[in-house]
Every structure is written in structure tokens, then in C-alpha cells.
Structure 1
Amino acid sequence: MKIITENITIKNEVLTLTNHRAIYWQRENALILSDIHIGKTAHFRRHGIPMPDDILQKDLERLKNLILYFNTEILLIVGDLFHAESNTDMKTFKEWLTQFIDLKLILIKGNHDKLSTQLLSHFNIHEKAELVLEPFTFIHEPPKSSTKVFFISGHTHPGVLIKGKGRQKLKLPCYQISSNQLVLPAFSLFTGLNIHAQPENATCYAFTDESIFKF
């Protein structure tokens, strides 16, 4: 797994974008991501829709490599860590967590995060509706109006459409950055890309396995 990074500065804070759908914040030694949707594949299988068994394992392997690469102490998930009710994927996630006994997990509750408080405590997850770490406020859904507060959010699964010659088109995940918010791409590879929801005057940082580029 090749990790490509690009540093950007927001509110005098350096954030490191990666080509693996997560941001590293050195000041807090935190890896920030959104929309992992653990339990989604098991939920679909439970309802008779065949899904590959290794989707979650691939997501967790990428996450492990990022945690080790940055030697991070905090995993900050900006919503939708889980997808549905408790299912077999929760056990997989619980076993995966045992290799990171000192890792602090903070979850900003998303619209899919409906597990009970008791079950969240089983994972030793600190759940919050929002989190303020100056100069940023972390929420799951991007604000609908302009504000002086700078939000870091997820939820919309942002992507861009790149048009090539003829009918060639390519969709890529991206980070969207505007004057008052940064929208994270969905971390899970098992998500669609929304190429229509974009904040006004946003700059996009799209990425591939080999590069990060701004447009």
C-alpha cells in the first residue's frame, strides 16, 4: 500500500491529506476519517444480497497501515463508523481493535450510528454529537449555511468527475475544502461517490493510488 501525502494549512493548522481517504492532524496526533460503515456488507448478506467477504478486511487493513504510518494516538471518526444493527462485522472489528490497545477512539455520531451506548462502551468508543478542538468543530453532516465556525465533516461521500477524450469519464473520491468547511471522503471503498454535492467555491483534492491533485 503506497501512502501519498499533501500538507494543507487551515486556520494556521497543518493537516496532512492522504490518498487513502483520511487526514492526519499532527498537533493532536490524530487520524481523522469518516463513513467506514462497518456492518454494511454483513447487513446486505443477511438480507440475501451476496457480498464479498473481504470488503471490511480491506478497509481495516488500510486503516491499520495509516495508524502505523503516522504512529497515531487518536482515531477520530466523523460519523458513520457503523452502518446498521449489530452483526458479524462487529466481531471482526472488535478483534481488529485488540492490536491497538492504546488507541483512543472518538466517534462523532452519524445518521447510521444507531448502536446502543452499552455496545459502544464494549468497543471503548467515546461518542459525541459534535466535538470542538479549536480551531475546528467536528460534525457528521456539513452545515447548510455559511458560518464563522470551521467545520470538518463527512456524510456526503464527495467525489469528482474527470472527463477524458471522447466518452471517457472517471470518478474519483476527493476532499472538499471551502472557506468554512472541509468535507472528508468516505473511508470505506464500499460506498458510492457523490459528484453533485459540493460547497460553494470549494477546492477539491482528488486522489488515486499514485497521487493527490488539486482542482
Structure 2
Amino acid sequence: MTITSHGEELILDKERALYLPHHQLLAISDLHLGKSAHFRSAGVQVPSTIAQNDLQRLGVLIEKYNPKTLLINGDMFHHGLNTDINEFAAWRKQYGELNFLLVKGNHDRLANADYASMQIDIHEPSFCLGPFCFIHDAPKCTEEELYPISGHIHPGVTIKGKAKQRLKFPCFYFGNDYAVLPAFSTFTGLYNIYPKTNEQIFAVTPNSVVEV
């Protein structure tokens, strides 16, 4: 789905990603690589394919949009170094010409040398481009003249059907004061968003992005 926000064309992709054609920038949030391996190390039975599937989805998006820059808007890595992150480091080598930018989130705790070894440029607390300011937690944004685009809360929306069924989907939220991207990782919960007047919610269904 293509929308216009603050004079810029934005593409909302059903793979929970945002593309800015004018800037050739692909943005995702809350990748949480390493989360499944961290849970397994604690004895929780979590499939080892979660990180692989998320990286495969991300690779498809890169091929689809051919961006110059990939921006991860916080919580790229869930915990310390582990097997999931080793898989990412190997996967990253396929995209040597692509700029990887990370706006640090609350889970991004690796040493700067670790990020540098994987060719990831760090921006803290935000990365601003055009009319937008990418920041992991929008209320902390200090660039008042720009429109914050955040992540962090893993936004979701509940849609009620005619037969009283209730379906919950990840969503893009474009509020009066800031926007929130859906969590890219499939291994996350959802926090229900309730829009105010003149605010927009776009549900991410299995087949498309739809305004609700």
C-alpha cells in the first residue's frame, strides 16, 4: 500500500516494512535477532528456524526494493552474541554494497566493535531524514520540527467480523504526533493501538496491508 505522509510517498509492505522511494531507504523495526537462541539457552523450546525465516523475509524485501540503505529502527539484536547473530553475520556478507544503519533500541547492547565487525553504522538516539525522525521510542524524540517514526511497542489492531469473530493483526500506526512501525520479527507479541480522531491504522494481514 502506498500512502503520503508529510509530503513524502511511503510504501507500507505486508512483510512489516516501510520503504521511502525518494530516499531509496528500507526501514524495519524490532528485528530481535538472537531472541529465539536466547530462549533456547534458557531451556525454552523455541524453533531454531525463527531467525532464519526472518532473515529470508528481509532478503526478499531487499531484492524487491533494491534500497541503498537498510534502516533498523531499534532492537535489531535481542541479547548478547549467540548462534542467531552468527547466522546474521554470515547473511550480511551477501549485501556488501548495502548500507546498514541501526538506531539503537533498549535491547541493542552489543559492543561497538561487534556492530562494526558486521558493517552496521550506529545512530543514537535517532536518524533523521527529510521530514522524518526515526527513533526507537517516539516520546523521547527531541526533534520537534520533524515527524517521529518509532517502533518498540509492537503495535497491533483487533478487527471484529460480522459473526463476532475477532482477529488481531500487526499494524502501522500514523498518529497525530508520531508513527509506529510493526515489529518485523514474527517472534513478538502485539500491543493493541486505539487511534484518536484523524489518526490512521493500517493492518498487516497475510495477503495485504489494509486501512482500518
Q: How does 1:20-169 map to 2 (within 5 A)?
A: 20-129=15-124, 130-143=126-139, 147-169=144-166
Letter in 1 for 2:75: D
How far apart are the structure 1 equivalents of 2:171 and 2:194?
A: 11
How far apart are the structure 2 equivalents of 1:43 and 1:200?
A: 37
Aligned residues: CA RMSD: 1.7
Distance 1:8 1:87, change over 3 A: same
Distance 1:87 1:141, change over 3 A: same
How far apart are the structure 2 equivalents of 1:47 and 1:198?
A: 35
Q: Give deviations 1:36-89, integer Å, cap 9, x for gaps.
A: 000000000111111101111111111000000011121001100000011111
Q: Give deviations 1:137-190, integer Å, cap 9, x for gaps.
A: 110002279954300110010000112245521110000002232100000011
TM-score, length-scaled by structure 2: 0.93
Distance 1:90 1:144, change over 3 A: closer
Give 1:20 deviation, angstroms.
0.6
Q: Find the residue that maps to 2:19 and give its secondary structure.
A: strand
Letter in 1 for 2:27: I
Distance 1:200 1:116, change over 3 A: farther
Letter in 1 for 2:185: S
Aligned length: 209
Task: Specify every segment of 5 or more residues in structure 2 that has no aligned partner in the other structure, as ranges.
Answer: none
Q: Give deviations 1:183-211, integer Å, cap 9, x for gaps.
A: 0000001100111x456443100021212
Task: Specify every segment of 5 or more residues in structure 1 that has no aligned partner in the other structure, as ranges.
Answer: 1-5
| Overall identity of the aligned pairs, in % | 43
Aligned position for 1:176: 173
Contact 1:159 1:173 in 2 (8 A): yes
Q: Find the residue that maps to 2:138 and give its secondary structure.
A: coil
How far apart are the structure 2 equivalents of 1:108 and 1:145?
A: 12
How far apart are the structure 1 equivalents of 2:141 and 2:98?
A: 34
Letter in 2 for 1:139: I
TM-score, length-scaled by structure 1: 0.92
Distance 1:62 1:53, change over 3 A: same
How far apart are the structure 2 equivalents of 1:47 and 1:94?
A: 23
Q: Find the residue that maps to 1:20 and give its secondary structure.
A: coil
Letter in 1 for 2:138: P
